[in-house]
Amino acid sequence: ITPVDQIHGLAPHLQPRAWLEVLASANTTLDEKCEAMEEVVIVSKDKRHARILLDEGILDSLLYMLNRYFDKKAQQRGTTSAVVVVDKRELMSSKLAANCCLTLGKAHCAAVHTEGDLLLMSMYERGTVPEERQLAQMLYEVPHHILSKEPDVFVIQQSSMSASEDLAMKIKELATSGR
């Protein structure tokens, strides 16, 4: 993969893929992943770049981080011991991952669901689709992998729209908490 300090020197059309590689690599640090996610939020505002990132599988890395965070939080609520701890760095990286997902969800809906998409748009007054609904739509429509019950085995996620909406609400809540 391209070292983080060299990515800004790449041609602009090569940068999104380089940031994705940083996110997907097991050999990058949390700080490098956070920098990559900050850049992904910026480049994902362009729906062409967002489409490339989604097609290349960025949701796999983002949802891996988010699901680990949500699992830790659930374990934390279920125990009285201090064994399960979510530190500030992990919270910050999870919030960045959630913001990446929101930005990608908006770009996905802008690229795929145009104003002529009556099914999606007819459900909302004045054609404004809430962010969490855009995110749920992306999670439902874009194939992605999740970690299975078996260690180190990733499987394709086949979720219902209802499950996608539930996950989107959790992601939106995390992204907007503390604002």
* Contact yes or no for 69/84 (Cβ under 8 A): no
pTM of the model: 0.85
* Contact yes or no for 107/46 (Cβ under 8 A): yes
Model pLDDT for residues 15-65, shown as the tens digit of each residue = 999 999 999 998 999 999 999 999 999 999 988 899 999 999 999 999 999
Model pLDDT for residues 132-167, shown as the tens digit of each residue = 988 998 999 888 877 677 766 667 777 888 999 999
SS3 130: coil
* Contact yes or no for 164/139 (Cβ under 8 A): yes
Q: Among residues of the chain, what percentage have pLDDT more than 70?
A: 83
Residues 63, 85, 29, 17, Cα dihedral to 10°: 10
Match 């959630």 to its residue by tokens: 98
Q: What is the DSSP string of 104-119?
A: HHHHHHHHHS-TT-HH
End-to-end CA gap in the chain: 34
Residues 48, 144, 63, 73, Cα dihedral to 10°: 150
146, β-bridge pairs: 155
Burial 160-173 (b: 16+ CB within 10 A, else e): eeeebbebbebbbe
Under DSSP, the state recorded for 126 is G
CA distance 148 to 12: 35
Regarding predicted confidence, which is higher, 1 or 147? 1
Under DSSP, the state recorded for 80 is S
